[in-house]
Structure 1
């Protein structure tokens, strides 16, 4: 067969079984389609793994932001606080050297919906310090809007309308982002207080 499966396999990359493509009872087109089916499976696996890396990187950014905004920093003397902030900036700089991108194709309406959802979530983040309990309730209503289950509670209808305009991939990421924010709010007193 003329297709270079070695180029596809690369060092530790996916193994493409071209024995399926050497069957004599299949037409060349069918053999190529079989090979493309295998490649597509590997591409989807790669997208999923890259998405996990994106989430892990975003979690690290969130943790670094939490440290930067922690009330515990205020309890440190000036030198210690500056040391911690320099260390945090150094780690943030290292984190910024990692670029992972899984592009999600969106039309104009989906772009606008994602922008609206992100604006609503950013509003939550801003309001955490001012009114944590109301922010937590609002976050839970956003989570309920992401779920088809009525057990999740009362959903925010504006958020629900916006999220339904997003792609499925975006909806999954938004739900994880909200869950991370909710987890942060649930542990926030532990992180920021000195009980």
Structure 2
């Protein structure tokens, strides 16, 4: 061995194969972690959907033409199911930097203000919610609230998806039960 090779690190073929094998394993694990996150997020969404359905169900039962006894029995069953659903705790943490935390805080504040505006004055509320939703879309189908758009753009992609989903659900809720707006929670956690 020459003096120039002394002291240098020499990577052998077996070390390269070992490294490649480890990297391949990490790639496979990463795919499984992402699949786990996606499944957990789907479960979170399913829980949210069930809670929303049960809340809407209770509102509709109050307005339906069933007897008082039947209404009471149906409401008790729906409340029991709602309580059971709320005992399920599924959480996928979204990693955020300080700027993203601040942006989510600002976005939630704007969503709370939107919710209050809609509760206090239902006239024009659908258009206002649509302008917030359009701010979340790459191709808006109408007016865009530019202040909200500036705030939501600074949020993480996961937060943007959640906000978009909540706004769509809120808009659907508005369209289906305009008189029951006061019961809807709009912020993202």
**What is the TM-score of this pair, normalised by structure 1?**
0.72
Separation in 2 of the partners of 1:96 and 1:174? 21
Cross-structure match for 1:45: 35
Cα RMSD after superposing both structures:
2.8
Separation in 2 of the partners of 1:163 and 1:141? 13
1:73 and 2:46 matched? no
Cross-structure match for 1:140: 130
Query: 1:181 is paired with a residue of what secondary structure?
Result: helix
Report the CA distance between 1:126 and its aligned residue.
Answer: 4.6
Q: 1:82 aligns with which of 66, 72, 75?
A: 72
Report the CA distance between 1:84 and its aligned residue.
Answer: 3.3
Structure 1 unpaired stretches of 5+: 1-23
Q: 1:100 aligns with which of 68, 90, 95?
A: 90
Cross-structure match for 2:147: 158
1:58 and 2:48 matched? yes
Question: Conserved in 2, the CA contact under 8 Å of 1:132 and 1:185?
Answer: no
Change in Cα spacing, 1:125 to 1:79, as seen in structure 2 (3 Å) is farther
Structure (1 or 2) with the larger CA radius of gyration: 2
Question: Conserved in 2, the CA contact under 8 Å of 1:124 and 1:139?
Answer: yes
Counterparts in 2 of 1:148-187, with a 5 A limit? 148-149=138-139, 151-187=140-176
* Number of residue pairs aligned between Structure 1 and Structure 2: 167
Q: Deviations over 1:62-86 (max 9, x none)?
A: 2222234x26505666544433332
Change in Cα spacing, 1:80 to 1:113, as seen in structure 2 (3 Å) is farther
Separation in 2 of the partners of 1:153 and 1:177? 18
Separation in 2 of the partners of 1:84 and 1:122? 32
Question: Conserved in 1, the CA contact under 8 Å of 2:61 and 2:75?
Answer: no
Separation in 1 of the partners of 2:161 and 2:63? 36
Cross-structure match for 1:118: 108
Question: Conserved in 1, the CA contact under 8 Å of 2:61 and 2:71?
Answer: no
Question: Conserved in 2, the CA contact under 8 Å of 1:114 and 1:163?
Answer: yes
Report the CA distance between 1:125 and its aligned residue.
Answer: 4.1
Question: Conserved in 2, the CA contact under 8 Å of 1:143 and 1:152?
Answer: no
Query: 2:92 is paired with a residue of what secondary structure?
Result: coil
